[in-house]
Amino acid sequence: MIQLSYSTINMLYEASHNWLNKQMGLKPEDHEYYHAGKKAHRIIQDHVSGKKPDERLLHIQYTFPIVEEVDFDSRCKFNFNFHHGLLDPLATKNKYNIIGFVDGLDPDNKTFLEIKSADPVWSLAKFQRAMQRKLYALAKPDFKEAILITCSKDPSRWTTETPRVYSVPLTDQDRKEASDWILGGIKMIEAGQFDGGLENGRCNDPRCYFGVNCQFK
């Protein structure tokens, strides 16, 4: 069974040669901006879980009893089997398994949390369009709402740039679009279409996820 996630499927759409880099076991190039948001995430998760309230976040009314305590926390993990557009959690013969991790869960209110630290911060429209949110809606068919908390990567700026909070309902249309999106990625895998992002067989992307480790450089 092939395991897929939002990031690996997105890789197929944006620059499918990186799928081969990942399958070869290559490591992404380490960039500071990949780590810059981790502190911001932890502060917000500690606040919404009640573990360590932060006065800069008192405007956030949502609480999440379950948050990621460590990277890839199993409490925040989802996975389901996917076979050519059909979601079947009971199947044992499906070829693809979709996994992912949310930043927080409120099972009683059927709500999940997504934190995006970025400069500039995310807009509501961007979160509404985000395929990652739609994928989580597919993974959690009984969940009704997604909460986005978006903030600067630098918490020292929060006193003047207040983290924003958005609520978006999860719909059947979200789930259909996510299913179609997964299927499109699977079709690329099965057709062996891994030349995306290459020019004459070479990667010239200055922001390549694998950087100097890319086998196509």
The reported pLDDT for the residue numbered 90 is 56
CATH architecture of 2-213: Alpha-Beta Complex (3.90)
**Measured between alpha carbons, how far is 203 from 195 in angstroms, rounded to an integer?**
9
The reported pLDDT for the residue numbered 162 is 95
Taking the CA atoms of residue 79, residue 82, residue 87 and residue 88 in that order, the dihedral angle to the nearest 10 degrees is -80
CB atoms within 10 A of CB 141: 12
Q: Of 133, 131, 136, nearest to 80 (Cα)? A: 136
The mean pLDDT of 87-106, rounded to a whole number, is 78
What is the tens place of the pLDDT at every residue in 20-46? Answer: 999 999 988 876 666 778 899 999 999
End-to-end CA distance of the chain: 30
Domain boundaries, the chain: 2-213
The reported pLDDT for the residue numbered 144 is 97
Lowest-pLDDT range, 13-22, 28-37, 107-116? Answer: 28-37
What is the tens place of the pLDDT at every residue in 128-187? Answer: 999 999 999 999 999 999 999 999 999 999 999 999 999 999 999 999 999 999 999 999
The mean pLDDT of 200-206, rounded to a whole number, is 89
**Measured between alpha carbons, how far is 192 from 29 in angstroms, rounded to an integer?**
25
